[in-house]
Every structure is written in C-alpha cells, then in structure tokens.
Amino acid sequence: MAEEAERYNFIREKSGLSKKDFAESLGLSVSMNSQISSGRLKLPRNLLDRFADAYNVNLHWFLTGKGPTGLESDTIEIELLDQEAAAGHGREVKDYAEKRLFQIPYSLIAPHRPDHLLAVYVAGDSMIEAHICDGDIAIFHPGITEGNGIFVVSVGNTLVVKRIDRDSVSQTLVLYSANPAYEPRRFFGSELNDIRIAGRVVACYHRV
C-alpha cells in the first residue's frame, strides 16, 4: 500500500464499519471522509492520535508505509462482564457486574484496540439470523454509540442485543430482532430517556 489513502481505506475496511460510522468515530464529516479515502485530502494531523488509539494503528506505518501495521495477529484479552444481554425480551442490568478476562485471537476484533472493548454473554434466540446465538459472547465498543447497526442497549433495567434504526426526522428509535418471532420495539419522545446505548457490537465469539 504505497499511498496513505490506501492505508486509510484498509483500516476502515478492517473496522467493519460503514463509511458514515467510521467517519463519525473520528469526528469527520462524510464528505471529508470521502476526500481522505480518495486521496484528495489527508487525515487531519490533529486526529492522528485519535485514529491510532481507536484502531490500534502504528502511525509510522500509516504515514510512511514502513514497518508493522500494529494489527498483526496475536492472542489478546478482553474484559468480559459477568452479565447476560438478552437476544430476546431482556435481562435486568447489574450495575456492578463482575468482570473477568477472556482470550481471543486479535484477528477477531481487528483493528479495534482490545482495551477499548467489553464483552457480555448473549442469552436467547432473537438475533439468530444475524449469527448471534444463545450462549455466544458479544464484543462491543462503548466508544461507538452513534449510527445504525447492532448494539448492546440498556432499556430501562434490562440489557439487550438488538439492531438499531434511528429516524432523526421523527425522533424515533427502533430496536429490531433478527428473528421474525420478535416484533420491533419503537421508542419516541420521553420513552427515549429510558434508552442507553452501551456500545456497538464489533464481533461475536461463538462458544462451543
């Protein structure tokens, strides 16, 4: 990858985020993100540390194309909350859930930094068509709460894993399951006060 734009696009693709969500994670507009991707602009230097910190990028490699990327595979540890997020109707949130570390290949969560991620057990079958099954571990990024996608969400005193769709015009948030047996849940107005986005799901670890 001879050009900085190529390296930028490589990291964006590895992140698994849409162009819009990736731009938002760096505080960029969609237009500026497009210009950086095409090589017409360079990533603003005041965002380099944020970029490197969020996606575990070796800045020397990013700026020069030389040396390791910072994304080389290795076994890493992530904090796993001793708590279930329901892929169903919801489980009560434990305010002080105990944590432990569990090991996974870095390639599963690349290019995210493991110390920026948390994980929860999944219970239920409402996300089965998104390949998130009962007994899996959902790995999520608490720093990514905007955009649409699959998130760990606190609804009142319950914790769920759902696909989020936001309508900025009607100020409505909809939680979708990936199983036709579960109806969408719509929230608007004062109901939105009961919603807290814990973070975007970036990977799912299938337990055997």
Whether 69 maps to a domain, the answer reads: no
Is 90 exceeded by the pLDDT of residue 41?
yes
Q: Are residues 116 and 193 in the same domain?
A: yes
pTM (2 d.p.): 0.68
Query: Within 10 Å of residue 79's Cβ, how many Cβ atoms?
Result: 13
- Per-residue pLDDT of 129-140, as tens digits, reads 999 999 899 999
pLDDT computed for residue 92 by the predictor:
52
Q: Which strand (E) or helix (H) includes residue 37?
A: helix 30-38
Q: Are residues 106 and 159 in the same domain?
A: yes
Identify the CATH number of the domain in which residue 30 sits: 1.10.260.40
Domain encompassing residue 139: 75-205
Contact 153, 164 (CB under 8 A): yes
Looking at the structure of the chain, the number of domains it has is 2
Mean pLDDT value across residues 79-95:
68
Q: Are residues 110 and 179 in the same domain?
A: yes
Q: Are residues 26 and 48 in the same domain?
A: yes
Is 60 exceeded by the pLDDT of residue 143?
yes
Whether 70 maps to a domain, the answer reads: no
Percent of the chain surpassing pLDDT 70: 92
What are residue 45's phi and psi, to 5 degrees?
-65, -25
- Per-residue pLDDT of 145-196, as tens digits, reads 988 899 999 988 788 999 999 888 888 999 999 999 999 999 998 999 889 9
pLDDT computed for residue 74 by the predictor:
73
Whether 137 maps to a domain, the answer reads: yes
What are residue 200's phi and psi, to 5 degrees?
-80, 135
pLDDT computed for residue 127 by the predictor:
93
Q: Are residues 125 and 191 in the same domain?
A: yes
